Structure 1
Amino acid sequence: MDVDAFVLTHRPAWNRLESLVKKRRRLTGAEVDELVELYQRVSTHLSMLRSSSSDAALIGRLSTLVARSRAAVTGAHAPLASEFVRFATVSFPVVAYRAWRWWLGTAVVFLAVATVIACWVAGNPDVQAVIGTPAEIDRLVNHDFEAYYSDHPAGSFALQVWLNNAWVAARAIAFAVLLGLPIPALLLANAANLGVGLGLMFQAGRGGFMLGLLIPHGLLELTAVFLAGAVGMRLGWTVIAPGDRPRGQVLAEQGRAVVAVAVGLVVVLGASGLIEAMVTPSAFPTWLRIGIGVLAEAVFLGYVVHFGRKAVAADETGDIADAPDVVPTS
């Protein structure tokens, strides 16, 4: 197909459709009929171009026009409830599921670094001396760590924890605009802090006590942080290696998907904060507190795998419905 001739022939129809879409709230009956007819015709044009042209800018413009026309024809937006359902069953879980390699790799490296540092601190008195005086370390391991979970009312503590964790996750995602390069440093700094705490507690013989307080909320909390870091680094890598599709198209698709993850993690970290405020400092036996944390983690991972697999089988990417093929340029 001669694309230039095709564009020259059909451009007036595209321009007319764009004009009708812009004044969609003031259309006459005849213009509404014309809008519907042009929408169907331009949708056919878009399908033809997708199969025979590699002009990403042209296809992107028509994709945007068709999406806007569809919104005008069908009444603009789907019911709000259906948007929530799609987000919960498609958009969030499929992005998390598709990023599982990045997610798993992030978790393995983080936990490995934390473990190595914990062993180093626990077995090296000289390192402990640099961290703090014996009195400071004694206060940390015998008072401060446990008091952290019980010194404040549960409600305000849950909000404080949620804000702190959400800030860590938000920074991990936001750093994607810098090709994801700062994300490993952010995660490794948090791994180092965790490792130092574990090392000091284990050398004092209170490692099991610390894990009993960390595991109930830490499983879900760290999983959310790993996911945030994973999708942020994956988006950064998309800029470097977009594959066989236009970089703008892939970046726009992945960027919108990352926004879905950011919104979903607000809920996940909220649940983690509630566990940390209500369960971790509670009088429940340790096995029950850990069991609640393991159950919350299993439910979350099961949710991602179940809905993520279904969405992948349906060829979903987590992108918004009717998204343009490339980032709009004007």
Structure 2
Amino acid sequence: MDIDAFTAVHSKEWDRLAQLAGRRRLDGAEADELVRLYQAVATHLSTVRSAAPDPAVVTRLSELLVRARAKIAGAHEPAWRGVVRFAVVTAPAAVYRIRWWTHAVTAAALAVAVVAGVNVATDPEALRAMGPPSVQEQYVNQAFAEYYDPGAGFAGVVWSNNFRIALFSIGGGITGIVPLFVLWQNSVSVGAIGGMMAAHGELDTFLTLIAPHGLLELTAIFVAGAAGLRFFWSWIDPGPLKRSASLAREGRSLITAGITLMAALGVSGLIEGFVTGSSMFWWLKILIGAVALGAFWAYVYVLGGRAVRDGETGDLSSDEAGAYAVTAG
């Protein structure tokens, strides 16, 4: 497409839209014309972006549409509509976009945990590194189970600690190292504790106390690690955008993912605070954890998949995020 010819053909419409968007008052005919031109220019912007992404034209039309939309809409939608849309469209889309990153991170982290656990359970030297025999016995037979003290206070402490770890992974993602460090540290720690419990014949205790809340909790940590790594990758491979624009877009999406994880970790914190250490049957505890994990992935794959197929990315809308310049190469 010849961008100069395209601009020459449509520049009068663009100028007219700018004129109408800048007026304080419009009569009925002018308001109708404003809406019609807004729709036409939105189509022009889509055409330019797909066929000839000239940065100057894209920026001009994006800014023009922002002003025109503000003139048409006047006021924002009621806040509750924005909250509902965020919960059922934006949030699941943000997590769905990084689902393959999450699955890869999960597989790698579980592999590290298993290797660490087997090493501690089968290697006397590795087991001794976990502490003196008396300390190990006290931890295995008493401290591990007593840690899960039922109550709202414990649930709140667990939630805040896990959310801090998740935010650290996402926020430090730009380095590419922080998410890997957090994932490695957590995987080795969980695996080593499991290995020590197994070496003392208490692997079943470990699994029945970790599984109820850990299924969702560890998944949330893996999602956070995946989000941080995806943030880093947007800097390495920005696509058609400038690196700053690519990082900004991905960063906004990952903030959305972080808010989603805050809710998921809240649920896992409630399970850890009121289910894990309770007197329920062990199979019922694990069933509750499995249902919570299943609900999380159903939320991501059903609502998030539908949203992404409709063009959502978890980012702000183009009007809210502002214009960005498309660059070649």
If the TM-score is normalised by the length of the shorter chain, which range does it land in?
A: 0.7 to 0.9
Partner of 2:180: 184
Contact 2:209-2:277 at 8 Å conserved across structures: yes
Give the partner amino acid of 1:279. V
Contact 1:106-1:229 at 8 Å conserved across structures: yes
Deviation at 1:124, TM superposition (A): 1.7
Contact 2:174-2:235 at 8 Å conserved across structures: no
Query: In 2, distance between residues paired with 1:55 and 1:321?
Result: 21
Deviation at 1:177, TM superposition (A): 2.5
Give the partner amino acid of 1:106. V
Query: In 1, distance between residues paired with 2:180 and 2:20?
Result: 48
Query: In 1, distance between residues paired with 2:311 and 2:47?
Result: 21
Query: In 1, distance between residues paired with 2:174 and 2:5?
Result: 36
Deviation at 1:5, TM superposition (A): 9.4
Match of 2:226 among 223, 230, 250: 230
Partner of 1:132: 131
Check 1:71–1:9 CA distance in 2 against 1; reply closer, same or farther (3 A cut): closer
Partner of 2:4: 3
Partner of 1:161: 158
Q: 1:14-69 CA distances to partner (integer Å, 9 max, x unpaired)? A: 7656755xxxxxx3456994793775675465355435532235413431441343
Query: In 1, distance between residues paired with 2:277 and 2:196?
Result: 20
Check 1:230–1:36 CA distance in 2 against 1; reply closer, same or farther (3 A cut): same
Deviation at 1:95, TM superposition (A): 2.3
Query: In 2, distance between residues paired with 1:102 and 1:17?
Result: 46
Give the partner amino acid of 1:280. T
Give the partner amino acid of 1:285. F
Contact 1:89-1:307 at 8 Å conserved across structures: yes
Partner of 2:85: 86
Query: In 2, distance between residues paired with 1:47 and 1:107?
Result: 37
Query: In 2, distance between residues paired with 1:118 and 1:246?
Result: 44
Query: In 2, distance between residues paired with 1:161 and 1:132?
Result: 25
Superposition RMSD on alpha carbons, in Å? 2.9
Query: In 2, distance between residues paired with 1:165 and 1:17?
Result: 51
Query: In 2, distance between residues paired with 1:93 and 1:30?
Result: 42
Partner of 1:204: 200
Q: Percent identity?
A: 37
Query: In 1, distance between residues paired with 2:43 and 2:239?
Result: 27
Query: In 1, distance between residues paired with 2:117 and 2:29?
Result: 69
Check 1:142–1:99 CA distance in 2 against 1; reply closer, same or farther (3 A cut): same
Give the partner amino acid of 2:191. G
Q: 1:123-164 CA distances to partner (integer Å, 9 max, x unpaired)? A: 1222222221111111111111111111xx611111100101
Query: In 1, distance between residues paired with 2:181 and 2:29?
Result: 56
Contact 1:91-1:317 at 8 Å conserved across structures: yes
| Secondary structure, counterpart of 1:326 in structure 2 | coil
The number of residues matched between the two structures is 319
Match of 2:302 among 293, 306, 320: 306
Structure 1 residue runs of 4 or more that deviate by more than 6 Å after TM superposition: none
Deviation at 1:289, TM superposition (A): 0.6
TM-score normalised to the size of structure 2?
Answer: 0.86
Query: In 2, distance between residues paired with 1:95 and 1:242?
Result: 17
Deviation at 1:291, TM superposition (A): 0.8
| Secondary structure, counterpart of 2:276 in structure 1 | coil
Moved more, 125-134 or 99-108: 125-134
Check 1:129–1:205 CA distance in 2 against 1; reply closer, same or farther (3 A cut): same
Query: In 2, distance between residues paired with 1:174 and 1:191?
Result: 20
Check 1:231–1:146 CA distance in 2 against 1; reply closer, same or farther (3 A cut): same
Which runs of 5 or more structure 1 residues have no equivalent in the other structure? Answer: 21-26
Q: 1:167-222 CA distances to partner (integer Å, 9 max, x unpaired)? A: 111011111232x3321111101111111111111111111101101100000001
Which runs of 5 or more structure 2 residues have no equivalent in the other structure? Answer: none
| Secondary structure, counterpart of 2:192 in structure 1 | helix
Partner of 2:52: 53
Deviation at 1:234, TM superposition (A): 1.3
| Secondary structure, counterpart of 1:210 in structure 2 | helix
